Amino acid sequence: MNNIDISNFIIQAKALVKNFDVGLCITILNASGNKEFFISLGEIRPCSIDMSEKKAKTAYNFMGDNHQIYNLLKGLGDMPLISSEYCFIAGGKYLSDQFGNKKFLGVSSSDPSKDLEIAKIIANDLMSGGGK
């Protein structure tokens, strides 16, 4: 998972755009929370660029999948799904392999109801080395 084969990853991302019939933004942060990769494919919503990065940053800051963190936090009281720093809409994932390598994924598409499923597919691909 440490290194991503960008050309293979882009081919797989294009297939997701076609299969899910969405525009798609993908952000990947490294273990330090710095942007390692970003791509925008298809007809995206203008907010998707910012949302994909916020989802990845939320996963980084909380070291967890953003929708799961939201479910924990909302038990403490009213919580907005989006703030100036965070986005708890599904599509942010925390990835860690058996060697301790960490990445943080943010997915935002033109159909937010598909973001979690797309993020899971991308995460599984990255974890299995399919992005290599």
Number of domains in the chain: 1
Any domain includes 11: yes
pLDDT tens, residue order, the chain (132 aa): 467 788 889 999 999 999 999 999 999 999 999 999 999 999 998 899 999 999 999 999 999 999 899 888 877 878 788 888 889 999 999 999 888 899 999 999 999 999 999 999 999 988 887 554
Any domain includes 98: yes
- In this prediction, residue 71 carries a pLDDT of 84
Per-residue CA distances from 112 to 8, 25, 51, 52, 124 (Å): 25, 11, 10, 11, 19
Element (H, E) at 116: helix 115-127
Domain residue limits at 74: 6-127
CATH number at residue 41: 3.30.450.150
Any domain includes 62: yes
Any domain includes 1: no
- In this prediction, residue 3 carries a pLDDT of 74
In the block, tokens 């989006």 appear at 82
Any domain includes 132: no
pTM of the prediction? 0.90
